[in-house]
Amino acid sequence: MVTPSDTTTKPDAGKPLLTIRKLCQSFPKAGGGQLNVLNDLDFHVGAKEIVGLLGRSGSGKSTLLRIVAGLARPTGGDIDFKGEPIDGPNAGISMVFQSFALFPWLSVLENVELGLEAAGVHTAEKRERALAAIDLIGLDGFETAFPKELSGGMRQRVGFARALVVNPALLLLDEPFSALDVLTAETLRTDFLALWAAGRIPIESMLIVTHGIEEAVLMCDRAIVFTPNPGRVTAEIPIELPHPRNRQDPAFHALVEEIYIQLTSPPTAPGGNIVQHPLTPGSPLPHATTNQMTGLIAELGTAQYEGKADLRTLARSLRLEMEALLLIAEALQILGFAELTDGNLLLTPDGTAYRNAGAQGRKTIFAAHLRRHIPLIEHIKQVLDDRPRHQAQVVRFLSELEDHLSKQAAKAVLGTAVGWARYAEIFSYDAKTGMFSLDNPSASGTR
C-alpha cells in the first residue's frame, strides 16, 4: 500500500489506461433472439483521472463495470487494459461494491488480506500491507471486529481498504456510497477524496458508477452519460473544477444542470435526429407505482412549481435519488401526464385534469390514458374482451413478453402493468390462480 509494487508502474504518458472500442453486450432473450444491453460503446479512461458513469436505470452502466472488472465477457468489441485485452479479473483492477460484499465470517483484517492471500503474498508482508491499508482508511482498532459488528460506513471503509491493499492501477466503484445514509456517505466521500488529492492512494485512475449527479460533479474529472435501450454514450462532460469542490459554487450548479439536461434529453440517433420510440406491447415499462405518480403530479401542481419544475430542485425537495425520480417522471411522460425536457418536468393539461379530479374521476382518466398509451394493457384488455369467459392465463402474456425481454424483465413489466390496470380497474388478476379476468371479486366470494 505505502510501497507501490511493480504492478502499478505508470503507463506511458498520454496512453490511456483503459480503452474500450465498439463494445457490445447482449443477452439471450427468454423467447429466443438477443437483447442488446450495450451498443457500440467507445470511451477510455486516461492516467490520473476519475471518470463517472451516469445514466438512467437499465442503461447498462453496471454491465459495463462488470465487463471492465472481468466478471463478464462482452459479445463484441475490444477492451484493453494497459494494452492487454481483458478476459477475466485482472490483478491491476480492483473494485468497491455497493453492497460492500464483505465476508461475514472473516474479521476486518482477514477481509482486507483476502486479495493479498489470493495473490500469494507471504504472511509477514501480507499482514504489514493490510495493517497499513487499515490505518490509511481510518479503521485502526477495528482489525479483529467482524463485519456484523460494524456500522454501514465502517463496513464500506473495509471495502475500500480491501480494494486498495492490492495496489490496483484502476479502481472500480459501483455506487459505493448509495447504501449509506447521507451524512455517512458525505464523510466517506470527503475522506476518500482528501486521500486521493493528497496523493496518498497509489492508484492511477478510477471509474465510478453513480446515480448521484452531485456526487459525480464532486468527484469526477469527466462524466459520461449513458442512454438506455440499448446503452450508448450520449455525452461526455469534462469537469475541471479544482478540488475540494464547493456545492455552492455557480460553476458547480451549472455542471449539475447540464448533466440533468443530458440525462433527460430524448435519445438522438447517430445522425443527430431525435429517435421516436412508439411503445409496443413488448416495450419495457418504468416501474413506478400509481401512488408515486399521483404524488409527483400533486407536487408539480403545488403553488411552488405551478406545473413546471426543475428536476434537480424536485429531487432535493422530495429527497429522491435522481434515478428514482426519473423513473416516475418517465412513467408520467409515457402516460401523457407530463413532459420531460431539458431537465424540467412540465405538467400537461391532462396531468392537471388528473390532479383536479376526485378519486373516481382520477381512475377514469388514468384508465383512458393507460388504454391509449400503453399497448400492453390495451392488448390484454382486447384478449379478455374477445374471450367468451373473459379470462386468460398469465403465462400467455408472459411468453409473449419474453419474445422481447429477458425472463426477469418480462415478469417486472407485467407486474407494473397489472399494478396500473388494477388501480384503473381495467382488468383484475388473481395471483393464486394466475388468471386475468374482467370481473371484480364477487361479493359472495369467500376470500
Per-position x/- string for 335-374, each x denoting binding to other proteins as judged by CB under 8 A, each - no binding: ----------------------------------------
- In whole angstroms, what is the distance from residue 384 CA to residue 380 CA? 6
User: Which set of grid coordinates corresponds to residue 248?
Assistant: 455552492
Interface region with other proteins, contact rule CB under 8 A, candidates 63-71, 239-247, 276-284, 370-378: 63-71
Peptide bond preceding 270 in cis form (omega within 30 of 0):
no
Q: Residues 122 to 181: which contact other proteins by CB under 8 A?
A: 146, 148, 162, 166
Judge contact between 296 and 355, C-beta under 8 A: no
Render the burial of 133-171: b for 16+ CB within 10 Å, e for the rest. bbebbbbeebeeebbeebeebbbbbbbbbbbbbbbbbbb
- In whole angstroms, what is the distance from residue 238 CA to residue 221 CA? 6
**Residue 348 vs residues 166, 169, 239, 335, 340: alpha-carbon distances, Å:** 54, 50, 35, 10, 10
Q: Residues 1 to 40: which contact other proteins by CB under 8 A?
A: 25-28, 34
Please state the closest distance from residue 123 (CB atom) to other proteins, in A.
Answer: 9
Helix (H) or strand (E) holding 185: helix 182-197
Interface region with other proteins, contact rule CB under 8 A, candidates 9-17, 48-56, 64-72, 127-135: 64-72
CB closer to other proteins, 39 vs 262:
39
CB closer to other proteins, 26 vs 294:
26
Judge contact between 404 and 29, C-beta under 8 A: yes
Please state the closest distance from residue 318 (CB atom) to other proteins, in A.
Answer: 29
CB closer to other proteins, 110 vs 128:
110
Which alpha helices (H) appear in 176-289, and where do they start and end? 182-197, 213-219, 250-264
CB closer to other proteins, 163 vs 225:
163
Helix (H) or strand (E) holding 257: helix 250-264
Interface region with other proteins, contact rule CB under 8 A, candidates 66-74, 196-204, 214-222, 393-401: 66-74
- Told to check if 249 binds other proteins by CB under 8 A, we report no
Cα-to-chain-centroid distance, residue 293: 20
- In whole angstroms, what is the distance from residue 261 CA to residue 50 CA? 22
Per-position x/- string for 205-224, each x denoting binding to other proteins as judged by CB under 8 A, each - no binding: --------------------
- Told to check if 69 binds other proteins by CB under 8 A, we report yes
In this structure, the number of other CB atoms found within 10 A of the CB of residue 395 comes to 10
- Told to check if 103 binds other proteins by CB under 8 A, we report yes
Judge contact between 392 and 383, C-beta under 8 A: yes
Please state the closest distance from residue 64 (CB atom) to other proteins, in A.
Answer: 14
Q: How many CA atoms, within 13 angstroms, populate the side-chain half-sphere of residue 98?
A: 11
Taking CB under 8 A as the criterion, the residue among 114, 132, 193, 324 binding other proteins is: 114
- Told to check if 441 binds other proteins by CB under 8 A, we report no
Taking CB under 8 A as the criterion, the residue among 4, 83, 101, 275 binding other proteins is: 101
CB closer to other proteins, 406 vs 437:
406
Please state the closest distance from residue 89 (CB atom) to other proteins, in A.
Answer: 5
The type of residue at 434 is: G
- Residues in touch with other proteins (CB under 8 A): 25-28, 34, 66, 69-75, 87-89, 91, 93-95, 97-101, 103-106, 114-115, 117-120, 146, 148, 162, 166, 432
